[in-house]
């Protein structure tokens, strides 16, 4: 395995990209420890450690690698950029003007990217202002309007810098830069989770058997996620032969791949974000605090709503990004057909039926992964169980696979030995 790793640095371009990515990660982690002036660090630490934050703040703190808990320059992370990207992805499917821009090619996508950046700026200002106002209302700072201005400018600038850094990582590094920053933020909390589990076991409050369960379940869940992320249902497409002069064209076969997990981590993120809103409101509004115990994270109502929302967003997101009618139309125009199925509407219905069955399996898997941490945490009493499954581990596995595939492409293109074939880093068979 070490030979495979050292092989990565023998390719000059790949070595340059890896070192650039590592340098950008170091800059990101340093920025998460530079606090915004004017906040009492001790009071802020007690506020988060005392479990008073909850709701959407804990959700944001997970994606920023604890930067929000320290109220650092990168406290917002890339969350505004992710929100803006998701908004424009949805709008592109329903707004004809944006859809036309996307179909224009590189120039159209450049305009959509510019709109996304401006939307990121707007969302960052709104989120920075909201969090700054909450910090003032909670008494975590003695500053007034001056702190409010400095905080908004600092947090917004930090988000824009991370957006720029992520784009540079995508262009000059390895993997998707924005996704890489999110993954590093999640992984940075892993040592503290292990430390908390070790302290609980040492104190005798938790049985040591749960440490073995944690390691075993982590391996099993990562393996299952990798299989599902890579899983596809391939529909056979046959292209008819046609003769032009003395030459014959077509007559070959190909496959239409349908991924088991079409939406990736998006259904879980949407469901989690939507559920954090009522939980946050019930914590912050005195009139609603009486119902917090019934809808808090881990409650029966929360888990049921979580599962239903995951199913809904799995099918909803797929309906936006994958249209069986358009696919059937494109196959027919290219002279292809599904063996045993008539072209046109029957092909569309066939693809739609296969898609729905695959999406059902993907939704069941995502729901199981999302609920598993709550069940293990309730049984063991360890918060570290939340690292098994859920949004965090799914992002880590997805980004890890994508990064390995990009490294693989660089090696194969330069005729180096594969990382993913038999005997390689992942040990996948041919």
**What pLDDT, in 10s, does the model give residues 229-255?**
888 888 888 887 666 666 665 567 888
> For the residues 177-190, what does the mean pLDDT come to?
86
Q: What is the reported pLDDT for 59? A: 66
Q: Evaluate whether residue 268 is within a structural domain.
A: no
Chain-wide mean pLDDT for the chain?
Answer: 81
Identify whether 34 is part of a domain.
yes
**Mean pLDDT calculated for residue range 265-285:** 75
Range of the domain at 174: 1-188
Q: Which of the 8 DSSP states describes residue 4? A: H
Q: In this model, does residue 143 exceed pLDDT 50?
A: yes
| The pLDDT value given to residue 121 | 93
Model pTM score: 0.78
User: Is residue 125 exposed (0-12), middle (13-18) or buried (19+ Cβ within 10 Å)?
Assistant: middle
Share above pLDDT 70 across residues of the chain, in percent, rounded to a whole number: 87
For residue 390, tell me if it sits in a domain: no
Q: CB-hemisphere CA count at 13 Å for 377?
A: 17
Contacts of residue 113, Cβ cutoff 8 Å, sequence gap at least 6:
none
State the chain's maximal CA–CA distance in angstroms. 85
Is residue 134 in some structural domain? yes
Where does 118-241 show beta strands of DSSP type E? 232-239
Half-sphere exposure of residue 197: CA atoms within 13 angstroms, side-chain side: 23
Contact present, 131 and 123 (Cβ < 8 Å): no
Asked whether residue 260 carries a pLDDT value surpassing 50, the answer given is yes
Helix (H) or strand (E) holding 256: strand 253-259
SS3 235: strand
Within 10 angstroms of residue 105's Cβ, the number of other Cβ atoms is 9
Q: Phi/psi of residue 205, each to 5°?
A: -80, -15
Phi/psi for 234 (5° steps) reads: -95, 120
- The answer to whether position 223 is within a domain reads no
CATH number at residue 74: 1.10.3370.10
Q: How far apart are the first and last CA of the chain?
A: 18
pLDDT of residue 420: 55
Q: How far is CA 21 from the centre of its chain?
A: 19
d(CA 49, CA 134): 17
Closest CA relative to residue 395, chosen from 85, 179, 159 = 179
- Spatial distance between the Cα atoms of 117 and 107, rounded to a whole number of angstroms: 16
The answer to the question of residue 410 being in a domain is: no
Confidence category of residue 430, pLDDT binned at 50, 70, 90? very low
- Mind listing the pLDDT tens digit for each residue in 28-82? 999 988 888 888 777 777 777 655 555 566 667 777 777 888 888 898 888 888 8
Count, residues in the chain: 430
| Domain count within the chain | 1
pLDDT at 27 over 90: yes
Among 125, 152, 197, 174, which Cα is nearest to 38's?
152
| CA distance linking residue 15 with residue 5, whole number of Å | 11
Judge whether 105 lies within some domain. yes
Does 68 map to a domain?
yes
């Amino acid at each position: 395995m070490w030979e495979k790793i050292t092989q990565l640095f023998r390719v000059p371009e790949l070595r340059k990209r890896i070192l650039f990515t590592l340098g950008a990660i170091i800059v990101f982690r340093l920025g998460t420890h530079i606090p915004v002036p004017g906040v009492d660090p001790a009071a802020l630490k007690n506020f988060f450690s005392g479990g008073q934050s909850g709701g959407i703040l804990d959700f944001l703190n997970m994606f920023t690698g604890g930067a929000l808990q320290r109220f650092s320059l990168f406290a917002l992370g890339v969350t505004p950029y992710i929100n803006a990207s998701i908004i424009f992805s949805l709008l592109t499917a329903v707004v004809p003007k944006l859809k036309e821009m996307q179909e224009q090619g590189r120039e159209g996508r450049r305009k959509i990217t510019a709109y996304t950046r401006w939307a990121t700026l707007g969302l960052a200002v709104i989120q920075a202002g909201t969090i700054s106002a909450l910090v003032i209302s909670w008494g975590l700072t003695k500053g007034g309007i001056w702190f409010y201005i400095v905080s908004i400018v600092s947090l917004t600038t930090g988000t824009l810098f991370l957006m720029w850094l992520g784009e540079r990582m995508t262009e000059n590094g390895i993997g998707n830069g924005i996704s890489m920053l999110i993954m590093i933020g999640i992984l940075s909390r892993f040592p503290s989770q292990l430390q908390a589990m070790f302290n609980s076991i040492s104190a005798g409050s938790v049985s040591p058997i749960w440490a073995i369960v944690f390691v075993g379940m982590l391996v099993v869940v990562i393996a299952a996620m990798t299989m599902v992320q890579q899983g596809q249902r391939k529909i056979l497409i046959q292209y008819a032969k046609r003769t032009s002069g003395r030459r014959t064209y077509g007559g070959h076969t190909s496959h239409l791949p349908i991924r088991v997990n079409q939406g990736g981590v998006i259904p879980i993120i949407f469901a989690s974000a939507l559920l954090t809103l009522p939980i946050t409101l019930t914590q912050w509004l005195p009139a609603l605090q009486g119902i917090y115990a019934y809808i808090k994270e881990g409650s029966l109502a929360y888990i049921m709503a979580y599962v239903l929302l995951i199913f809904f967003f799995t099918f909803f997101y797929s309906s936006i990004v994958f249209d069986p009618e358009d696919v059937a139309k494109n196959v027919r125009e290219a002279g292809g057909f599904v063996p045993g199925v008539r072209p046109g509407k029957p092909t569309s219905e066939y693809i739609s039926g296969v898609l729905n069955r695959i999406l059902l399996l993907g939704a069941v898997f995502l729901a199981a992964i999302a609920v598993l941490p709550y069940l293990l945490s309730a049984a063991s009493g360890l918060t570290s169980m939340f690292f098994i499954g859920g949004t965090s581990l799914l992002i880590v596995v997805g980004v890890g696979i994508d990064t390995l595939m990009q490294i693989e492409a660089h090696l194969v293109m330069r005729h180096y030995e594969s990382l993913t074939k038999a005997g390689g880093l992942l040990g996948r068979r041919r």
